[in-house]
Amino acid sequence: MGTTTFFLRYNDSGKPLNKMGKEELEKLNNLSPYDETPYYAGWQVPLELHNGNVYALVFWKGRLIKIEDAPKILNKKYYSKHRGKEVNEYEWTVLKKYMLAEIQRLDKDFKRSLQKQRKKMVGTLTT
């Protein structure tokens, strides 16, 4: 049984991992998302996944979040950078719309691929 730790770079001044020394990598490796400060040298530890646990993850505005924690975290009004102002919707509502639209698109693609497979099967059976 192992643990997968996700490290996210949260600012541009953070050193790349391949340029860090052994001591710095050790400090980064000892970070935990459950500490008061899960940050070190421009890197953040948002979450850890243990073998056997299955979580759906969402990446929203540079943050990696468990889907069940997303409604609690995304409770601010959504700022639209295209309009330059806050929209009268919460971030969670906007994320939910994006996810549902993507799921519908993937479902259509899946159904099309099944139809193509059926047509190929019928074509091979008739010849």
- Domains in the chain: boundaries: 1-54, 70-127
Question: Smallest Cα–Cα separation from 19: which of 31, 30, 28?
Answer: 28
pLDDT digits (tens, 9 = 90+) for 20-60: 888 888 888 888 777 788 878 888 887 777 766 677 778 77
Cα dihedral value 116, 120, 126, 127, nearest 10: 150
For all residues of the chain together, what is the average pLDDT? 81
How far CA 49 is from CA of 2, 43, 66, 92, in Å, comes to 9, 18, 10, 23
The angle subtended at Cα 33 by Cα 27 and Cα 34, nearest 5°, is 105
* Structure confidence at residue 107 (pLDDT): 94
**Contact (CB, 8 A) for 19 and 41:** no
pTM over 0.85: no
Exposed, middle or buried by CB within 10 Å (0-12, 13-18, 19+), for 96? middle
Quick one: tokens of 60?
A: 């929203």
Write down the pLDDT at residue 113.
93
* Separation of alpha carbons 102 and 107, rounded Å: 8
> Residue 93, Cα to own-chain centre: how many angstroms?
16
Banded pLDDT at 127 (limits 50, 70, 90): low
Most confident of 12-16, 54-58, 116-120: 116-120
